[in-house]
């Protein structure tokens, strides 16, 4: 009996250690940390990024707020991200957006920190240009 009790106690502590871990679920798809770089020459308001049209991902839309010209936002962690995104924002009260994205055939970025750099592609039609830069792998997973 004296030998069984320590073994049971050890098994209980091991089970608590394994099940108590709340680390974020990792997969080949993500998560991906995304930030914005404003290269439009204008202050951007209400910058909203949608990284996928798949509604099964809880964290697929995020509003970065206002981004000054030449400024970076903080990173925001998305469950999944692609080299293209649906981004809408306002410049001087006028709504601008990236071209419509069909996410069906895009390859996900994976577990990296990336920057979406925004430029003005078409001033007349209020279309934004988007370039993605992969900065570094996420190391805190």
Residue 14 lies in a domain: no
> Residue 9: its pLDDT value, please?
52
Whole-number pLDDT of residue 19: 43
CATH value at residue 129? 2.60.40.2890
Tell me, what's the pLDDT at 24? 45
Q: How far apart are CA 130 and CA 115, in angstroms?
A: 10
In a domain, 11, yes or no: no
Contact (CB, 8 A) for 118 and 73 = no
Alpha helix ranges (H) inside the chain: 4-19
Residue 4 falls inside a structural domain: no
| Residue in the block written with tokens 């697929």 | 60
At residue 8, the pLDDT reads 53
Output the pTM of the full model.
Answer: 0.79
pLDDT, averaged per 10 consecutive residues of the chain (141 residues), comes to 56 50 57 97 98 92 98 97 97 97 93 97 97 91 59
3 state DSSP class of 26: coil
Asked if residue 59 is part of any domain, the answer here is yes
Asked if residue 122 is part of any domain, the answer here is yes
Question: How many structural domains comprise the chain?
Answer: 1
DSSP state of 124: T
Q: Which domain holds residue 51?
A: 26-137
- 5 falls within a domain: no
Q: Which tokens go with 64?
A: 């970065």
């Amino acid at each position: 009996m004296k030998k069984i009790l320590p073994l049971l106690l050890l098994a209980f502590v091991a089970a608590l250690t394994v099940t108590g871990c709340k680390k974020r679920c990792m997969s080949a798809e993500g998560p991906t940390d995304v930030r914005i770089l404003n290269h439009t020459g204008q202050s951007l308001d209400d910058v909203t990024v949608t990284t996928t049209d798949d509604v099964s991902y809880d964290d697929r839309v995020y509003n970065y707020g206002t981004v000054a010209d030449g400024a970076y936002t903080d990173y925001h962690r998305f469950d999944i991200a692609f080299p293209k995104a649906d981004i809408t924002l306002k410049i001087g009260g006028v709504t601008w957006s990236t071209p419509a994205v069909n996410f069906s055939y895009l390859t996900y970025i994976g577990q990296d920190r990336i920057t979406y750099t925004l430029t003005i592609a078409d001033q007349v039609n209020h279309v934004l240009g988007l370039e993605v830069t992969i900065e570094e792998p996420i190391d805190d997973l």
